């Protein structure tokens, strides 16, 4: 969404913008840059794996002899990360842009014969200071051997696991009513997408942002009413519940629901840093019993957003087109939350769920859902295993060569149901 807003802002200031979309491989980005003889390459990152991909692109641009500047931004990016990890990999300017409102000024400086040299020199000095500061603050982290880390695994009790769900295997659901999903929307990221950062509902009364936030929220409700009433978008899900067990080597084996044969295996990483205290070195496999347990997985999608947004783009109504995409993103996350609640019910652990959305968003329920690319399951390639188990192409969801889901308004997760299952950092 941020990328779309940047594109609109630049276009309104007489820049020609070539939008390649999302989940674009590095080779495609660089091929298109050459084909169109562009002046600047812009990169946007929403999730943590995007940061590594930006480093890769910078290295590729240097290897291939590119001299174009890079502008980058997005939720997971920062000036410090750009200075420490990306800028050293490329000899030409690499500029972190804090928000869409600053993109025009940065782009103008980068193409200006009069201003570019001083602008770039100032950036390089600033990034050098940030790197020096980072090195000064750096502290060597001590790591345990893998055997020692496993010996310090979590001591949670896995003896008592919920009874087997009534229905194992994979189920496909289409035309899930949007009205049922709507109550699960987390509105705080909605405002962030429009660069009105703040927690909902407090942002509505913010002394500086409140008036604009209320207008935006009212607009969102109006368009959401139209989306629900007109069935402009379709919610779909494919969900699986499988027998599973953990192994000594931090793997989780997924079994066929009928014969008990292995149909998938996930190798999870265990924390290895020496924490210097009594805390355990966690691994997601700790939350699955060694015998006779179960694990869940799902992929969900909101279908139709791109086509509907394109209708408004043809009418030169960029605001509404972006609004449709932002709301579709929120509905996709709400659908994941909604379906996780349904899965907890199927596992027999939904009875203690919070009564309010705030409690749900604070993970005030039993179990946890884990998305790929984050510390508990950082390997995006494991997403291909979920695809093999669930076959989400039946709901129109495909996996790219970069292990990203399409359509853009899609998400997936693995579900552990143990009471102590939780998120943890690397």
Percent of the chain with pLDDT over 70: 98
3-state secondary structure of 352: coil
Can you give 290-305 as a three-state secondary structure string?
Answer: CCCEEEEEEEEEEECH
- pLDDT for residue 282: 93
Cα 254 to Cα 244: distance, rounded to the nearest angstrom: 4
Cα 47 to Cα 162: distance, rounded to the nearest angstrom: 33
Q: Does 67 have pLDDT greater than 60? A: yes
Cis before 407 (ω within 30): yes
Name residues whose C-beta falls within 8 Å of residue 381's C-beta, 6 or more positions apart in sequence.
403
- pLDDT for residue 138: 55
The string of pLDDT tens digits covering residues 127-148 is: 999 999 888 665 567 899 999 9
pLDDT band of residue 314 (cuts 50, 70, 90) is very high
Cα 314 to Cα 34: distance, rounded to the nearest angstrom: 27
- pLDDT for residue 204: 97
Q: Tell which wins on pLDDT, 274 or 348.
A: 274
Cα 378 to Cα 399: distance, rounded to the nearest angstrom: 17
Q: What sign does the CA torsion over 61, 62, 68, 69 have? A: positive
pTM of the model: 0.85
Q: Does 321 have pLDDT greater than 90? A: yes
Phi-psi region of 14 (alpha: psi -120 to 50; beta: other; left: phi over 0): left
Name residues whose C-beta falls within 8 Å of residue 412's C-beta, 6 or more positions apart in sequence.
297, 298, 299, 300, 371, 372, 383, 386, 390, 392, 405
Cα 213 to Cα 193: distance, rounded to the nearest angstrom: 12
- Which candidate, 326, 232, 264, 356, places its Cα nearest to that of 8? 326
- pLDDT for residue 373: 83
Cα 64 to Cα 67: distance, rounded to the nearest angstrom: 9
Cα 187 to Cα 217: distance, rounded to the nearest angstrom: 9
C-beta of residue 232 within 8 angstroms of C-beta of residue 332: no
- pLDDT for residue 108: 96
Q: Does 266 have pLDDT greater than 90? A: yes
Q: What's the average model confidence in pLDDT over 7-28?
A: 92
Q: What's the average model confidence in pLDDT over 370-383?
A: 89
Q: What are 335's two structure tokens?
A: 């659908």
Where b means 16+ CB within 10 Å and e means fewer, 115-124 reads eeeebbeebe
C-beta of residue 54 within 8 angstroms of C-beta of residue 84: no
Pairing relationship of beta strands 262-267 and 398-399 according to DSSP bridges: unpaired
Cα 394 to Cα 392: distance, rounded to the nearest angstrom: 5
Q: 130 φ, ψ to 5°?
A: -65, -40
Cα of 193 vs its chain's centroid, Å = 13
Q: What's the average model confidence in pLDDT over 235-256?
A: 94
C-beta of residue 367 within 8 angstroms of C-beta of residue 341: no
- pLDDT for residue 141: 73
Q: What is the mean pLDDT of the chain?
A: 92
- pLDDT for residue 339: 93
Q: Does 76 have pLDDT greater than 90? A: no
| Beta pairing partners, 143 | 273
- Which candidate, 178, 190, 288, places its Cα nearest to that of 244? 288
Q: What's the average model confidence in pLDDT over 89-102?
A: 94
pLDDT band of residue 416 (cuts 50, 70, 90) is very high
- For 23-27, 54-58, 171-175, which range has the lowest pLDDT when averaged over its residues? 23-27
pLDDT band of residue 217 (cuts 50, 70, 90) is very high
Q: What are 425's two structure tokens?
A: 């950092």
3-state secondary structure of 253: strand
Q: What's the average model confidence in pLDDT over 170-186?
A: 96
Q: Does 79 have pLDDT greater than 90? A: yes
Name, of 220-224, 246-250, 362-366, the range with top average pLDDT.
220-224
Cα of 350 vs its chain's centroid, Å = 25
pLDDT band of residue 426 (cuts 50, 70, 90) is low
pLDDT band of residue 348 (cuts 50, 70, 90) is confident
- pLDDT for residue 391: 97
């Amino acid at each position: 969404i941020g990328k779309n807003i940047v594109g609109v802002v630049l276009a309104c200031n007489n820049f020609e913008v070539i939008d390649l979309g999302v989940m674009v491989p590095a080779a495609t980005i660089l091929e298109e840059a050459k084909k169109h003889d562009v002046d600047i390459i812009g990169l946007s990152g929403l999730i943590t794996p995007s940061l590594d991909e930006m480093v890769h692109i910078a290295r590729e641009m240097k290897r291939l002899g590119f001299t174009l500047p890079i502008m980058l931004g997005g939720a997971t990016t920062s000036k410090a990360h750009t200075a420490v990890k990306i800028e050293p990999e490329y000899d030409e300017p690499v500029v972190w842009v804090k928000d869409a409102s600053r993109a025009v000024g940065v782009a103008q400086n980068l193409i200006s014969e009069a201003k570019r040299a001083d602008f770039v020199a100032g950036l390089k000095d600033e990034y050098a200071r940030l790197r020096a500061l980072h090195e000064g603050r750096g502290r060597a982290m001590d790591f345990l051997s893998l055997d020692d880390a496993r010996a310090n695994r979590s001591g949670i009790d896995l003896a008592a696991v919920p009874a087997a769900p009534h229905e194992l295997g994979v189920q496909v659901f289409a035309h899930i009513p949007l009205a049922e999903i709507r109550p699960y929307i987390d509105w705080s990221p909605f405002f962030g997408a429009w660069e009105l950062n703040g927690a909902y509902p407090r942002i509505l009364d913010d002394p500086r942002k409140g008036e604009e936030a209320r207008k935006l929220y009212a607009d969102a409700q109006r368009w959401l009413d139209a989306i629900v009433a007109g069935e402009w978008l379709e919610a779909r899900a494919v969900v699986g519940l499988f027998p599973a067990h953990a192994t000594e080597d931090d793997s989780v084996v997924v079994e066929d629901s009928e014969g008990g044969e292995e149909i998938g295996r996930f190798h999870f990483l265990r924390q290895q840093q020496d924490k210097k205290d009594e805390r355990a070195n966690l691994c997601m496999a700790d939350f699955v019993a060694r015998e006779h347990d179960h694990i869940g997985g799902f992929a969900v999608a909101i279908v139709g957003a791109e086509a509907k947004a394109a209708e408004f783009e043809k009418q030169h109504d960029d605001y509404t087109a972006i609004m449709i995409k932002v709301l579709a993103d929120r509905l996709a996350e709400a659908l994941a939350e909604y379906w996780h609640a349904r899965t907890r019910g199927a596992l027999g652990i939904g009875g203690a769920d919070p009564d309010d959305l705030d409690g749900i968003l604070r993970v005030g329920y039993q179990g946890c859902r884990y998305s790929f690319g984050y510390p508990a399951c950082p390997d995006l390639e494991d997403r291909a295993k979920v695809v093999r188990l669930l076959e989400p192409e039946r709901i129109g969801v495909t996996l790219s060569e970069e292990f990203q889901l399409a359509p853009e308004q899609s998400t997936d997760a693995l579900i552990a149901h143990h009471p102590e299952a939780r998120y943890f950092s690397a």
